[in-house]
Amino acid sequence: MSKIFAHRGFSGKYPENTMLAFEKAVEIGVDGIEMDVHLTKDNELVIIHDENIKRTCNGEGLVRDMTLEELKAFDASATFTGVYGVNPIPTLREYFELVKDTDIITNIELKTGIFEYPTIEKRVIDMIYEYGLQDKIILSSFNHFTVKRCEEIAPEIKRGFLCESWLINYGKYTAEQNVQCCHPIFCNLSKEVVDEMHGAGCEINTWTVNEYEDIERLAALGVDALIGNFPDRMIEKLR
Ligand code: G3P
Ligand code: MG
């Protein structure tokens, strides 16, 4: 049975990557939550998708150019403006406080594709250990150097390589790098690709699976986790 992960929290119905979206995902009983992490000017770990706050907040500017206090002044509800009141950008710590006593699996995507945020891997891993969550985490990134840095710091924490291309031998490449999970975009998952990844011993956690027909097709292919904006639809179809 494929696991059900909420992408940026329950982002189909609530402002993405906010505590509200995470709380609602927990409430409906997801297996896991995916989120995106950046580093502020004063080295705080915050949960937001883009480098610039413009798309999701009522302001603009780079996360890395602002302190946490400055970032907290914005409302991160722009994907649902005016519907759910004010929802600030959460810190990773606030999120961990929410899930620390649950069985929720957390997929932390390190957003180091444009800015590398030196030290982000160490800061994330230190906080994971502070909360004792190391067995309930998957660290992933499109920047595979970031994933390898995570391995150097904490080889025991599960890792995933994100990729949006139709790679040949994605599973073999992943396994050879001592990484346990492939995190491909869902539309690249033919049976041949799924079989190659599983044949290499990899777990497959795919995104962003929103439509009923995709949920059914990917679950039937035996994909390990479906990461989507509408975890309610996945629960309806798969449980
Ligand atoms: O981690 C899966 C997925 O979130 C990767 O793409 O752009 O939604 O962060 P993106
Ligand atoms: Mg993401």
pLDDT, residue 91, reads 99
Task: Give the model's confidence band at 189: pLDDT under 50 very low, under 70 low, under 90 confident, else very high.
Answer: very high
Cβ atoms 44, 68 nearer than 8 A: yes
Read off the pTM: 0.98
Ligand 1 geometric centre to CA of 154 (Å): 23
Give the pLDDT confidence of 210-239 residue by residue, as tens digits: 999 999 999 999 999 999 999 999 999 999
Mean predicted lDDT score pLDDT of the chain: 98
Task: Give the model's confidence band at 5: pLDDT under 50 very low, under 70 low, under 90 confident, else very high.
Answer: very high
Ligand 1 geometric centre to CA of 110 (Å): 10
140 lines ligand 1 (CB under 6 A): yes
34 lines ligand 1 (CB under 6 A): yes
Give the pLDDT confidence of 55-95 residue by residue, as tens digits: 999 999 999 999 999 999 999 999 999 999 999 999 999 99
Ligand 1 geometric centre to CA of 207 (Å): 7
Task: Give the model's confidence band at 140: pLDDT under 50 very low, under 70 low, under 90 confident, else very high.
Answer: very high
Mean pLDDT of 156-175: 98
pLDDT, residue 48, reads 99
Nearest CA, atom 1, ligand 1: 109
Ligand 1 atom closest to residue 7's alpha carbon, by position in its atom list? 4
pLDDT, residue 208, reads 98
Give the pLDDT confidence of 92-135 residue by residue, as tens digits: 999 999 999 999 999 999 999 999 999 999 999 999 999 999 99
Instruction: Choose the residue to mutate in 112, 140, 207, 223 for probing ligand 1, maximizing ligand atoms within 8 Å of C-beta.
Output: 207
Cβ atoms 164, 143 nearer than 8 A: no
75 lines ligand 1 (CB under 6 A): no
Question: CA quadruple 27, 204, 106, 132: dihedral positive or negative?
Answer: positive
Ligand 1 atom closest to residue 34's alpha carbon, by position in its atom list? 1
